[in-house]
Each structure stands twice: as C-alpha cells, then as structure tokens.
Amino acid sequence: MESLVSTEWLAEELGAPDLKVIDATIFLPGAGRDARAEYEAEHIPGAVFMDLDEIVDASNAAPHMLPPAHKFSSRMQTLGLGDGHRFVVYDNSPLHSSARAWWMLRVFGAHYVALLDGGLQKWKAEGRPLESGKVRVRHGHFTAFVEEEAVADKAYVSGLVHSPSHEIVDARPASRFAGEEEEPRPGVIPGHIPGAKNVPQGELFNADNSWKCGDELRAAFYEAGVELDKPMVTTCGSGVTAAVLLFGAHLLGKNDVKLYDGSWSEWGADPATPKSVGSA
C-alpha cells in the first residue's frame, strides 16, 4: 500500500476485512469546532475516531506529546485497530491533522499506513457515501514500541540552533512564525526557533485539498530556503502540523526527518530557550 491513496482506491477497498479507516480530525483551541461531534455527524463508512487530544502523555505540560507505548496500544485496541491491519487515515481539518496520526502509527510500529489524498473534503465533493453515529468494533491487538530515532526532543533541537548541517522547518502560518500574533495557548511567547525556516503547511496542498507532488511540492520547501539534502527537524505549535511537513518530505523520498514533539508549545513556554521574531 502506498503512503498516499486516492479516494477512488479507498472506495474500491472499503469493507475489506484487513482495512481500517481512521478519522483523525483535530482543531486549534478556540476554533469553535468539535471534532468528535463532527465525526459522529458524518464520516466515511466504517471509520473510527482517533482522538489526538486524548492520546497524549498526560503527565507532560506540552500538548500532544507522544503517550507511553502501553497507552497508545490500549487506545488502538479499543478502536479495533490491530497488528496486520492496513490503516487509511483522513481528516476534515485545516490543520491536515491526519498526518500526525500517520506519523504516530508509524512511530509505534504500524507497517501499513496511508493518508487519504484530499481527506473528507474531497470524498464529500465527489459525492461518496457517508454514515453517522459511532462504529461498533471488536477489540484488536496492537503491539506498540516507540521508534525513538523518529522523535526530536528539546535538548536535541537546542543543539541544532543555527547549525549549518541541519534544517529546522516550522509549519505554522507566517504571522505566527514571525511572532506577529498571539499563540493560541496561554503562557507561550510568540516567535520561532532561531535559524528555523518557515513552510506554512497549507502551502503543500492544492485547491481541492489534495497533496501537491513532484516539483510543485519540492518548490514549497525551496522557496522557503530549505535545503532538502540536509537532515531536517520539523516543528509547529504542538507537533501536529509538523507531521504535515514530515509527510511532504516523505513523499519526496526524504526520510532523514525528525519531528520535534514538544514544538513551540514547549519551546515558547520555556524562558531559557532562545527565540526569534520576524521572517526567517
């Protein structure tokens, strides 16, 4: 299974016993939208809801930090997701949050994980079937182990500030990157990691919400001054849209990319970390 599948492909595969569809929609705090309620109102038939706000390390002050392996395994089993299944993840969010779920599943050892190109937006625009309510599932058996090399922590990123050998790439909108608007979470100072480049995650998509590809996708990084031949760390507000950049790099065949899980929610809340404002 490819890492990115089309709506046509999913429509043909829907109902296969080894295929599990996951809605991983999430919104920014204060967006005025309820992801779970929207899922229950309409979702792709058979899809389960992966709550990215809950499947976290609750002991960490930063939001969306990876949970312990046992918690992730437990949540996946409750959703009926198990070893040997093929997973297709989608969302209905401007954050393109399904990329975070794709990354998490891979970090915890899943082998067959894909994103639905265009997400629910494209699926609905094509008049494909939807259902409402909750999906009844049988518990799966998900064996979780963490691929530590895929994750960057604050200490690791601190060692890369202004490093000529690596790229730090921030997925937030340009105004947040520049520190021109308040962060959506209290106690977080506006700005960005010194030396970081800014590729707002929305620039990786076409008007119909499908992913750009090839030269168009590559240009989104090049135009921000990102050198794709260097190892990369992606960051954002809380580790969600950072996964969008990581997935985009993956589509270009680039896999020497780590995700800074704490992202700006952790970095910007720490008085000891260096911070920059303005464009890169």
Q: What is the pLDDT of residues 220-251, one digit of tens each?
A: 999 999 999 999 999 999 999 999 999 999 99
Structural domains for the chain: 4-146 (3.40.250.10), 149-267 (3.40.250.10)
Spatial separation of the C-alpha atoms in residues 95 and 238, rounded to whole Å: 11
**Contact predicate 184/218, CB 8 Å:** no
Residue 102 pLDDT exceeds 70: yes
Spatial separation of the C-alpha atoms in residues 201 and 199, rounded to whole Å: 6
Note the pLDDT of residue 139: 87
Spatial separation of the C-alpha atoms in residues 271 and 165, rounded to whole Å: 26
What percent of the chain has a predicted confidence (pLDDT) above 70? 100
SS3 13: helix
Of 77-81, 133-137, 166-170, 271-275, which gets the smallest average pLDDT?
Answer: 133-137
Tell me: the pLDDT tens digits for 127-166?
999 999 989 898 889 999 989 899 999 999 999 998 999 9
Residue 116 pLDDT exceeds 90: yes
Mean pLDDT of 42-62: 95
Residue 280 pLDDT exceeds 70: no
Note the pLDDT of residue 277: 94
Residue 209 pLDDT exceeds 90: yes
Angle at 171 between CA 206 and CA 3, to 5 degrees: 55
Tell me: the pLDDT tens digits for 155-195?
999 999 989 999 999 999 999 999 999 888 889 999 999 99
Spatial separation of the C-alpha atoms in residues 35 and 122, rounded to whole Å: 18
Angle at 81 between CA 153 and CA 148, to 5 degrees: 20
Q: Tokens for 183, please give them.
A: 């962060």
Spatial separation of the C-alpha atoms in residues 42 and 51, rounded to whole Å: 16
Active-site residue flag, 213:
no
Q: Tokens for 169, please give them.
A: 């790439």
Residues counted in the chain: 280
Note the pLDDT of residue 211: 98
> Per DSSP, what are the bridge partners of residue 198?
170
Q: Are strands 151-152 and 257-260 parallel, antiparallel or unpaired?
A: parallel
The two most distant CA atoms of the chain are separated, in Å, by: 53
Question: Which of the following is catalytic: 236, 240, 257, 259?
Answer: 236
